[in-house]
Amino acid sequence: MSPRTSQPASKRDPASIAAWAILALAIGGFGIGTTEFAMMGLLPNVAADVGISIPEAGHVISAYALGVVIGAPVLVAIGAKMPRKVLALGLMGLFTVGNLSSVFAQDYTMLLISRFIAGLPHGAYFGVAAVLAASLVAPTKRGHAIAMVMMGLSVANVVGVPLATFVGQQLGWRWLFVMVAAIGLVTVAAIAAFVPAKKAHPDASIRSELSALRRGQVWLTLLVGVVGFGGFFAVYTYVANTMTDVAGFPSTFLPIIVGLYGLGMVAGSFVGGRMADWSVMGSIYAMMGFIAVSLVIYAVSVHIQWMALIMIFVIGASGSMLVPSLQTRLLDVSPGAPTLASSLNHSALNMANALGAFAGGLVITWGWGYTAPALVGAALAVLGLAIALFSGLLDKLKRPAGPASLTQSHADASSSAHK
């Protein structure tokens, strides 16, 4: 047998290398999505077992979100000089430890601390995973590669969250974290086996990563995520009450509704990746407008049950469609510091979660009803579109559009992703 044919298949086939590596990274996203969203359905179980109120149990979710916001910049800065594969392994190891510590938390304080620790690597992991995925494919396929990594998060809402919720209700809420820790271990093994090892870029440093924070376009892109996704979460936070009180579905029908939302996320991730490869800014403009229109239609038609089901799927899809474009845009506007900028996207999305929940709750408190959050969300999406248009205008003022500049943009993005 010749040396050429004796080589492992993965060494002969770059497409196979990329596919297996992206699958390994997506498994981590599946675990993260499962632990983040399944906790919401198990809050009553947690409250009863730990001896706290439902609002106090809600703070456990807030502790995780706070960990995401803080962990993304801090852990990426600390790991700036590490090879990205090593950093991804370390982040998933921390995620596994954090979830295991939740299994053994015996009181409210320890549970808060364990959930905060589990949230720390969330944003940093997705940021590193996005850069790794983009570095394994051609610049024209970055959006699809990033979307496939994020697909793990979407699939979690269809498979992982319902399964973990059922197991947690039957065997105890701590089994959720046992399952997630097991997924974390599988991810560590898969990344070690399938993600190619590359040396850290010689110029990589904490200072180089932090340089992303000096770029106005990075902040504008993050602001698009905070405001635009704020509208999305304004609806999703109160979807259960809207479906039962406005659409008239029985509570026993909610798992199907949540499943439709999850299927929409899966479809949206796939389509959004293709759209990002077509045009990053063009897809951001289109998706922000689509989210705004979808939320208005949802608000005026949710009392019709068959329309409510369709729009839940559409809203799930519209939100997921936007993520690959935002992630790719952050790679484009942060040459030399793609990991931190990409990680901050998930801090922004968690801030959007808080903004949407607050804004939606405010109009409900004012007595405007459960359809009002959708209209608030539509207004936020329009504001996000305006910010995106301003960002695009700055690009045009900085450099005239044309074939040469487009080619250079792809080259810059590819160089940034491979660093």
Residue-level pLDDT at 302: 94
Residue-level pLDDT at 184: 96
What's the pTM? 0.76
Domains of the chain: 10-200 (1.20.1250.20), 212-419 (1.20.1250.20)
Q: Rounded to whole angstroms, how far apart are CA atoms 239 and 250?
A: 13
DSSP annotation string for 308-341: HHHHHHHHHHHHHHHHHHHHHHHHHT-TT-HHHH
DSSP 251: G
Residue-level pLDDT at 282: 94
End-to-end CA distance of the chain: 36
Residue-level pLDDT at 72: 86
Residue-level pLDDT at 10: 43
CB atoms within 10 A of CB 311: 25
CA atoms within 13 A on the CB side of 32: 32
Residue-level pLDDT at 97: 95
Helix then strand count (H, E) for the chain reads 19, 0
Q: Rounded to whole angstroms, how far apart are CA atoms 127 and 134?
A: 11
Residue-level pLDDT at 406: 41
Residue-level pLDDT at 100: 94
Tens place of pLDDT for every residue, the chain, 419 residues? 444 444 444 455 878 888 999 999 999 999 998 998 788 778 778 888 888 876 677 778 778 888 888 898 889 888 878 898 999 999 999 999 999 999 998 889 999 999 999 999 998 999 899 889 988 988 888 888 888 998 888 888 888 888 888 888 889 889 999 999 999 999 999 999 999 987 766 555 566 666 667 788 889 999 998 988 887 778 877 887 888 889 999 877 877 887 888 899 889 988 998 899 999 999 999 999 999 999 999 999 999 999 999 999 999 899 889 988 998 898 888 877 777 777 888 888 878 877 887 888 888 889 898 899 999 999 999 999 999 999 999 998 876 544 444 434 444 444 444 44
Residue-level pLDDT at 388: 95
